[in-house]
Amino acid sequence: MQLANDIVVGEIRSTLESSSFLHSCSERLSHSIVEIESRIQTSLSEAAVGLALLEGIDLAGKRVLEVGAGIGIVSLILHRRGVEVVPIEPGRGGFDANAEIGFCLREWLKVDDLTYLSLGAEELRPDRHGVFDVIFSVNVLEHIPDLESAVGAMCGVLKPGGIMKHTCPNYLIPYEPHFGVPLVPLFPRLTRYLLPKARGTELWESLNFVTLGQMKQAFARHGHACNFSRGTMYQAFARLDVDEQYRKRQGSNPAVSIAYNALRRLGLLNLIGALPPMLATPMTFEVHSSSSSAP
């Protein structure tokens, strides 16, 4: 999946990939150009997922919240398109550099009218931050330590008639996409003893290993039902063919590569698309407030 080909996206991508911006950002943040460039390319890839997640939703006149915005590419695109959007990013869990790159980007582009909040989803309050017509996140919910509080806070700032859309791993399937490793089935935290490169890292410690069932129950406790999409695992495999950055991150993993090639040769990829959401990863779902109807 590629980012939409328009002037706004082109300007942002060109800036992020320009040598002048990369050098300036590197000097300011004391991170290597290679590290910054890698984070930017990953974020551009994930931004395409975020934009696709919002397809079909009319954002005109709507107030939008991006949870875990990272660099803030999607929010910046929406802002440039005239959407009232508020990105939040606590800058923890190994993603602090992304928030710093985002600050450099907004300063470089002289964007001073976009409210970018340094807070976690669990800190959202309607009296302080208002309410939102649309709330979305891409691969963020699995990094929230107190997911119950975060779900409650997001439900608390969802406007009547509003919609949430989220996508993240479903750890009932024993695979960890950030590290590209299989997990100990049913006891994913035990994997740390078999994975020296992850042990003690901020990224690994940030993972909550949420499953579809746990996510469903968390929202239900706050009076909201989750509508999970089918075909997400098929889409994840298909993404290997069209997203170069994603292919570098996941396709180079021997287990993923072997599984994908075997499924293609046997003509079984379509069967993956028919799996029930409970048995697929990632999980993508939407939540409507009680008074809303599907867009």
Confirm whether 132 is domain-assigned: yes
Confirm whether 56 is domain-assigned: yes
Crossing angle between the packed helical segments 254-266 and 232-242, to the nearest 10 degrees: 100
Confirm whether 182 is domain-assigned: no
Phi, psi of 115 (to 5 degrees): -75, 110
**CATH code at 5?**
3.40.50.150
CA-nearest of 127, 20, 135 to 74 is 135
Residue 57 pLDDT: 95
Residue 93 pLDDT: 82
Using an 8 Å Cβ cutoff, are 266 and 260 in contact? no
Residue 199 pLDDT: 80
Confirm whether 241 is domain-assigned: no
Residue 106 pLDDT: 95
Residue 293 pLDDT: 41
Domain of 157 in residue numbering reads as 1-170+210-229+284-290
Residue 287 pLDDT: 97
pLDDT tens for each residue of 96-128 = 999 999 999 999 999 999 989 999 999 999 999
DSSP 192: G
Residues, the chain: 295
Confirm whether 234 is domain-assigned: no
Residue 240 pLDDT: 87
Residue 1 pLDDT: 36
Confirm whether 204 is domain-assigned: no
pLDDT in tens, the chain (295 residues): 345 457 788 889 999 999 999 999 999 998 999 999 999 999 999 999 999 999 999 999 999 999 999 999 999 999 999 999 999 999 888 889 999 999 999 999 999 999 899 999 999 999 999 999 999 999 999 999 999 999 999 999 999 999 999 999 999 999 999 988 899 999 999 999 888 888 889 999 999 999 999 999 999 999 999 999 999 999 998 888 888 888 888 866 777 888 888 888 888 888 888 999 999 999 999 999 876 444 4
Confirm whether 215 is domain-assigned: yes
CA-nearest of 170, 261, 165 to 208 is 170
Residue 250 pLDDT: 83
Model pTM score: 0.93
Residue 110 pLDDT: 95
Confirm whether 70 is domain-assigned: yes
CA-nearest of 109, 105, 56, 54 to 78 is 54
CA-nearest of 163, 187, 175, 158 to 58 is 163
Based on the structure, what is the number of domains in the chain? 1
Rounded CA Rg of the chain: 19
